[in-house]
Structure 1
Amino acid sequence: MTVPPLTDLDFRDPGLARWRHGMAAGRRLGATLAGWGRFARRACDLAVDQAQAFVLDRLDARRPQPDPILRMEEGEDPVPGARSVAVYVQFSRDGALTAMVRRQLATFRQLGFAVVVVSNSPAFPEHSWQEARRTAALVVHRRNRGLDFGAWKDLVPEARARWPAMTELLLVNDSVMGPIRPLEPVLAAMRAGGPGFYGMLESIQGGPHMQSWFLLAQGTKAVGDLAAFLDAMRLSRSKWTIVQRGELRLARAMREAGNRVAAVFSYAGLVEIALRDPAERAYLDRALPGLLEGDDPAALREVLMQRPLNPSQHLWRVLAGPAGCPFIKTELARRNPGRLPEVETWPALVPSDSPVPVAELEAHLAALGP
C-alpha cells in the first residue's frame, strides 16, 4: 500500500464558501431547487436544535451534574509505562462489541498502543465488558454527554495520569468500518512527520479541519496541547455545537499552539484523483448533477474547492478506492444521508485480503440496525 505524503493544512479563512455549500446541488434548475429545499430543511432542524440546546445547556450549567463515569476497570494487561495510548470511543444501542470493533481494538493494541475503551452506550453488558478487557488496558462505561469529544475530555486526563510518560495519543472511534487495508503504513507516515498533530482525512467544509475519527498527537508538546484543548472545551446537548466547538476548531487551535498540523488524505488530493480518473469523474456527474460542467480541469477543481464536499461521503469511492484509505464511513453505508448513487456497491471496494472481511463489516452494520 502506497501512502501519500502528509499534507499540511492551509488555514485560510473559508469565507462564504462554508455557507454556500449545500444551498444548491448544481446549476440546473431542478438540482438547485432540490438543494435549496435541503438547505431550508437543515436550517429549520438546526434552529430547533439550537433552541433546545440553549435551554438545556443553561440548565446543566446551573445544577450539579452526575459523575459521567459509570464504571471503570483495568484490562487484563494495563500496559504500565506505556508511551503510546489510544482512546477509542464506542456506541451501540445494546452496548455489544461487534467482531469488527473487537478487531479494531486488537489492531491498535498490535500497533503498540495501550487501548482505553470508552463505551457511551446506554448499557454495557458484562460479556461486552469482559471482551473489551481482554484487549484494552482500561475499560470505561460513561454517560453519553458530549458524544466522542465528551468521552475524550473525560478520559484523556485519566490516561495521562496512568501513563505519565505518554508521548503519543491517538483519538479514534467506531464511526468508520475497517480497516480494509493495513493500518501500519498510515501510522508510519504520521510518525515519520515528527512532533505534531495528524489526521487521517482533511475536510474544508466549514473551514480547514480534520475529521475526528482518527487523530494522532505526536510528541509531548502536541499531547499536552491536545489535552489542554479538550479540558477547555465546553460541552453541549447539541451535536452540531459539539462539532463546531470540537472538530472544526481543534486543528486550528493545535496550529495556533505551534504544532505542525497535517493529514494523510488531503481534500485537494482526493479532488485531483477524482478529476483524473474517468470512472470517478463520471460518478461525480451522477452524484452531483449539474455541478461539474465542461472539461477544463482547472475550472472543475475550482468548483470543488469553492463548493467543498464532504470527502468521507461525496468522495467515498475515491477515498476507499484509488486513494487507498483503510476505512469507510459507517454512516454512508448505513444511511447514505446525501442520497448518493451506488453506495450499496461499497463491498466491491474492499480488497480480497482486507484485515476485516466484508462479512464482518456487513454484520457490524446489521447489528447497528436501521
Structure 2
Amino acid sequence: MKGPALTDLAFDDPGLARWRHGMAAGRRLGATLAGWGRFARRGYDLAIDQAKAFVLDRIDARREQPDPILRMEEGADPMRDARAVAVFVQFSRDGALTGMVRRQLAIYRDLGFAVVLVSNSPAFPEASWQEARRIAALVVHRRNRGLDFGAWKDLVPVARARWPGMDELLLANDSVMGPVRPLEPYLAAMRAGGPGFYGMLESIQGGPHMQSWFLLAHGRKAVADLTAFLAAMRLSRSKWTIVQRGELRLARAMREAGNRVAALFGYAGLVETALREPAERVYLDRALPGLLEGDDREALRALLMDRPLNPSQHLWRVLAGPAGCPFIKTELARRNPGRLPEVETWPALVPPDSPCPVEEMKAHLAALGP
C-alpha cells in the first residue's frame, strides 16, 4: 500500500451531469429493469422534494429566522492559542455522543486542532454536553437548519473570531466511521501540498468535487476563501439542494479563488485499482451486474469515468482495503442504499491495530438505529 499522496482535481464543466448526482446508485446505472424503476422513483421523490423546498425556502426568506445557536459554551481547555481549528458536526436522534464520536473528537484534539463540536440534534442531554466539554474547545447546540453546511456557515465565523491566528480549518462530521488507520500521515500529506484546499475523497458524480466529510483549508488565504464561500451560500430545506449549492460547488469555487484543490483519494485512481485487482474486479461485476462486460480495462475505465460511481459506496472495498482510506462511510454500513453485496463484511477490512475498534463502530451503528 502506497503512502497517501494528493491528486489535483481536473475541473470540467459538469453541464447536465450535475442533475444526475445521487441518482446512479438507485438505478444501478440502468443495468436492470428494477434499477430503472428505482431510478424513476428517485426522480419522482426529487421532484416532490424540490416543489416543497421551493415553497418553504421562500417562506423562510420572508420570515425573521430565530437564532440558530441554542447554547454555546467553552470546553475545559479552550485552546485559545490554537492555529488549527476543526469544526465537527454531529447528529443523533437523542443527542447522545457515541464512543466513536468521542474518540474522533479526541483524535482531532490530539492532532493539535481546537475542536468546535456542533450538534444539530433535537436535544443535547446535559451528560453528553459535559462529556463534550471535556474534549472540545467549544461546544454548540444549534437548530438543524441547513444540515452540516448550515452548521459550518454559522460556526466558522465564530471560530475565526475566537482564534484570530487560525491558518488551518478542518470541516468534518460523523457521517464516516473510524478512523481505522492513524490520521497523521494523511494530514501530513495534505500539509505537504502547501497552501490550498484539500479533501480525503474525490467524486465526479455531478462534476468533480470532494465529499464533504473531511475538508481541510490550509493557509490563511484558503481559510478566508472557504469562509467567504460559506457566508455567501444560500441554505435550503432540501438536502439535495444543499448538496448542489455546497458540496458540488465548493471545490470549484476554491479553485476559481486561486487555491490549489486536491484529494488524497482520486476517483480515477480508485477505478484503476478496482479494475486491476482481480478480487475487486469480480466484486464490481457482482455489484453492477451486466454493466462491466469484457476484459478491455481501458474501455471499462472509460465507461466508469463517463458514468461515474459513488466512490464511498460502490468502491468501498477498494477504498477501505487496497487504497488505505482511514474512514468507512456510515450510510453504507447502516443502510446500504446501493444494495451492494457483502457490505456486512466491512469489519474484515478494519486493520487489527485500528485507532477505532470495530466494536465501537458497531455500537455507533446500533445507537443510530435502523
Please give the range of the TM-score, normalised by the shorter of the 2 chains.
over 0.9
Q: What amino acid sits opposite 1:201 in the alignment?
A: L
**What fraction of aligned residue pairs are identical, expressed as a percent?**
84
Q: Residue 155 of structure 2 corresponds to which residue in structure 1?
A: 155
Q: Residue 359 of structure 2 corresponds to which residue in structure 1?
A: 359
In 2: Cα distance, 1:36 partner to 1:59 partner:
35
Q: What amino acid sits opposite 2:317 in the alignment?
A: R
Cα deviation 1:176-217 (Å, max 9, x = unaligned): 000001100000000100000000000000000000000000
Contact 2:169 2:217 in 1 (8 A): yes
Alignment pair present for 1:118 and 2:118: yes
Cα deviation 1:41-67 (Å, max 9, x = unaligned): 011000110111111111111111110
Q: Residue 82 of structure 1 corresponds to which residue in structure 2?
A: 82
In 2: Cα distance, 1:24 partner to 1:344 partner:
21
1:40-189 matches, within 5 Å, as: 40-189=40-189
In 1: Cα distance, 2:80 partner to 2:309 partner:
43
Q: Residue 223 of structure 2: SS of its match in structure 1?
A: helix
Contact 1:89 1:117 in 2 (8 A): yes
Q: What amino acid sits opposite 1:87 in the alignment?
A: V
Contact 2:69 2:140 in 1 (8 A): yes
In 1: Cα distance, 2:63 partner to 2:95 partner:
29
Contact 2:255 2:261 in 1 (8 A): yes
Contact 2:270 2:315 in 1 (8 A): yes
Alignment pair present for 1:25 and 2:28: yes
Q: What amino acid sits opposite 2:10 in the alignment?
A: D
Contact 2:28 2:338 in 1 (8 A): no
Change in 2 beyond 3 A, CA 1:19/1:364: same
In 1: Cα distance, 2:160 partner to 2:15 partner:
37
In 1: Cα distance, 2:275 partner to 2:52 partner:
42
C-alpha displacement at 1:2, in angstroms?
A: 3.8
Q: Residue 216 of structure 1 corresponds to which residue in structure 2?
A: 216
C-alpha displacement at 1:15, in angstroms?
A: 4.1
In 2: Cα distance, 1:240 partner to 1:304 partner:
23
Cα deviation 1:133-182 (Å, max 9, x = unaligned): 00100000000000000000000000000000000000000000000011
Number of residue equivalences: 367
Q: Residue 267 of structure 1 corresponds to which residue in structure 2?
A: 267
Q: Residue 337 of structure 1 corresponds to which residue in structure 2?
A: 337
C-alpha displacement at 1:32, in angstroms?
A: 3.3
Give the TM-score of the pair, scaled to structure 2.
0.97
In 1: Cα distance, 2:347 partner to 2:147 partner:
28
Q: Residue 311 of structure 2 corresponds to which residue in structure 1?
A: 311
Q: Residue 250 of structure 2: SS of its match in structure 1?
A: helix
- What's the RMSD between the two structures over aligned residues? 1.2
Q: What amino acid sits opposite 1:225 in the alignment?
A: D
Unaligned runs of 5+ in 1: none
Contact 2:78 2:136 in 1 (8 A): yes
Contact 1:53 1:236 in 2 (8 A): yes
C-alpha displacement at 1:35, in angstroms?
A: 2.5
Cα deviation 1:89-140 (Å, max 9, x = unaligned): 0000001101100000000001110000000000000010000000100000
Q: What amino acid sits opposite 1:230 in the alignment?
A: L
Q: What amino acid sits opposite 1:217 in the alignment?
A: A
